[in-house]
């Protein structure tokens, strides 16, 4: 089995490509969705956040008061690091468990949809391939303003908070050019899906694992015979 990291810049079209890949039957693990799951009331990271930050970061219904939490971590980088240290391990645990289940079921690859794949860099070494969804800066700005109902200044601020998209494109194995029509993007995604299906990379892990099993069996046989 092999892992494919899917990323992009804000509003470059990552979610659009992620949805297309799911529709083609790919197993997509969405990091944003997992991040919401681990902080749902009663979930492991929610409990740790409550313990550290107190009830002031909760709404009446028990859900996280994202605005309040946002204010705290915006004002204090140390608190941001603490919040990340409470949520990230929980997200990674679920991610690993999902990947393991896919592996056991015999799937050849899984797509990890991670907005900040390059910015955080932690998961990057485990990716056999990376896909970056690209479009021009003007399109990114226009789509972001439209989708999030932002002013130009606000949208530029969010874009500038991320690593420049051009830098991610340079580091990518595959680039989806989402500057044209959705039909053009769909075609590229279909072609890429074909390439991933034809990739032989999944044999590497199978080969390593079967070698480990064979050596272990060999040693056991030698010791007990």
Q: Does 178 bind ligand ADP (CB under 6 A)?
A: yes
Q: Which of these segments, 12-20, 47-55, 101-109, 121-129, binds ligand ADP (CB under 6 A)?
A: 12-20
Q: 205 is written with which tokens? A: 């892990």
Q: Which of these segments, 9-17, 44-52, 71-79, 169-177, binds ligand ADP (CB under 6 A)?
A: 9-17
The only residue of 182, 209, 215, 217 in contact with ligand ADP, by rule CB under 6 A = 182
Using the minimum distance from each CB to ligand ADP, give the nearer residue, 12 or 130. Answer: 12
The only residue of 1, 3, 4, 8 in contact with ligand ADP, by rule CB under 6 A = 8
User: Degrees (nearest 5) of the Cα angle 198, 204, 206?
Assistant: 100
Q: Which of these segments, 14-22, 71-79, 96-104, 203-211, binds ligand ADP (CB under 6 A)?
A: 14-22
Q: Does 134 bind ligand ADP (CB under 6 A)?
A: no
Question: Helix or strand or coil: residue 42?
Answer: coil
- Quickly count: other Cβ atoms within 10 Å of residue 155's Cβ: 22
Q: 164 is written with which tokens? A: 């420049």
Q: Does 31 bind ligand ADP (CB under 6 A)?
A: no
Q: What is the DSSP secondary structure assignment for residue 164, as one 8-state letter?
A: P
Number of residues that bind ligand ADP (CB under 6 A): 14
Question: Helix or strand or coil: residue 78?
Answer: helix
> How are strands ordered across the β-sheet holding 28-30?
28-30, 109-113, 2-8, 129-134, 174-177
CA-to-CA distance for 217 and 39, rounded, in angstroms?
43
Q: Does 168 bind ligand ADP (CB under 6 A)?
A: no
Using the minimum distance from each CB to ligand ADP, give the nearer residue, 87 or 140. Answer: 140
The only residue of 1, 3, 13, 118 in contact with ligand ADP, by rule CB under 6 A = 13
Beta bridge partners of 113: 6, 30
Beta strands in 13-105 (DSSP E): 28-30
Quick check: 41 and 62 in contact, CB under 8 A?
yes
Using the minimum distance from each CB to ligand ADP, give the nearer residue, 10 or 91. Answer: 10
CA-to-CA distance for 198 and 77, rounded, in angstroms?
44
Beta bridge partners of 28: 111
Q: Which of these segments, 6-14, 72-80, 98-106, 196-204, binds ligand ADP (CB under 6 A)?
A: 6-14
Q: Does 14 bind ligand ADP (CB under 6 A)?
A: yes
Please report, as ranges, the residues that interact with ligand ADP according to CB under 6 A.
8, 10-16, 143, 147, 178, 181-182, 185
């Amino acid at each position: 089995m092999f892992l494919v990291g899917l990323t992009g810049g804000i509003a470059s079209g990552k979610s659009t490509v992620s949805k297309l890949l799911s529709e083609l039957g790919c197993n997509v693990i969405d990091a944003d969705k997992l991040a919401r799951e681990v902080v749902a009331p009663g979930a492991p990271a929610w409990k740790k956040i409550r313990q550290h930050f107190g009830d002031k970061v909760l709404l009446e219904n028990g859900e996280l008061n994202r605005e309040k939490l946002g204010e705290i971590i915006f004002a204090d980088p140390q608190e941001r690091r603490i919040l990340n240290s409470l949520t990230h391990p929980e997200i990674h645990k679920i991610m690993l468990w999902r990947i393991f289940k896919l592996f056991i079921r015999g799937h050849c690859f899984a797509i990890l949809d991670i907005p900040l794949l390059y910015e955080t860099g932690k998961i990057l070494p485990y990716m056999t391939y990376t896909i970056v969804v690209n479009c021009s800066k003007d399109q990114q700005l226009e789509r972001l303003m439209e989708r999030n109902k932002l002013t130009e200044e606000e949208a530029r601020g969010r874009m500038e908070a991320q690593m420049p998209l051009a830098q991610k494109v340079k580091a990518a194995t595959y680039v989806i050019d989402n500057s044209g029509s959705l039909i053009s993007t769909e075609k590229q995604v279909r072609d890429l899906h074909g390439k991933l299906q034809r990739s032989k990379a999944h044999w590497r892990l199978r080969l390593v694992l079967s070698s480990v099993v064979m050596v272990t069996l060999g040693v056991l046989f030698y010791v007990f015979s």
